[in-house]
Amino acid sequence: MSEPTAPRPVLTIENLSVVYEADIPVTAVKGASFQLAAGEILGLAGESGCGKTTLAYAVNRLHKPPARIASGSITFHDAGGRDIDLLALESEQLRAFRWAQLSMVFQGAMNALNPVITIRAQLEDVLKTHRPGMSKTQRRERAADVLRRVGVDPDRLRSYPHELSGGMRQRVMIAMAMILEPQVMIMDEPTTALDVVVQRDILREIVRLRDELGFAVIFITHDLPLLLEISDRIAVMLRGEIVELGDATTMYREPKHEYTKKLLGSFPSLSGSRGAFIRTGIDEGEAS
């Protein structure tokens, strides 16, 4: 029996470093390296300020001075087998690439919708920009379809952002990020501002859409237990460095780095006894 074929890579990051220039330069990302496979959910975990969002912005080439990419490479492998050097793309090439091949749901994105424009207009604006050959009817059908896919009634296309709940606005932002069917979606804390029930619904939708459409996801959060539920692999960041990268199940059972162990031990168990740790389920007294 032949071995199963490994998923093809869609993104390769090698030795990437990002520096914020100041009187004393600050290296926010230090030598980050990883590969993202087609259809994979890669979790990126770490405390606030560890460099997660800086890394995401670097992949999308969204940094502005004083930030700059000091070293490394970012290579996108498209469905046609071409390798695209993202750091070599000129502004117009980069504009065409973003959203069509690699999109991003920004931190606090549910508040990023234009408050005076309907949901339909905002979704169709992406299509007008990147798919100018589409007819008005095709744009409307695509906007309705993508909204339906994220679990929102297409009747909401006529709504303004303030008429939607926080969960619906976040679903609209996810719909906007996937409307051009990119191969990679970066999600930066997409559920942080939502209550637990809505958060779970959004996470289920993300996994379902990944399974249905096959795009890869880089999911950024400080919540490691959440990543253990939805990720295939997890990268743990500390002070700008990826200190551990591996299979989610293995990381849960056998974390190698001390910081990963502390992250896993910092969340209480909902089912264990008082003071229990989430990873081991043992009492705090026994752990000491």
* Coil vs helix vs strand at 126: helix
State how far the Cα of 144 lies from the Cα of 154, in Å rounded to an integer: 5
- DSSP reduced 3-state for 20: strand
Place of tokens 């071409």: 82
Percentage of the chain beyond pLDDT 90 is 75
User: What pLDDT is recorded for position 5?
Assistant: 67
Average model confidence (pLDDT) across the chain: 89
Every domain range in the chain assigned CATH 3.40.50.300: 9-101+182-254
What single string gives the DSSP state of each residue in 35-95? EEETT-EEEEE--TTSSHHHHHHHHTT---TTEEEEEEEEEEE-TTS-EEEGGG--HHHHH
CATH fit for domain 9-101+182-254, picks 3.60.20.10, 3.30.930.10, 3.40.50.300, 2.40.30.200: 3.40.50.300
The sign of the CA dihedral 99, 39, 188, 202 is positive
Confidence at 111, pLDDT banded by 50, 70, 90: confident
Pairing of strands 102-105, 184-188: parallel
Q: What is the pLDDT of residue 270?
A: 55
pLDDT reported for residue 226: 86
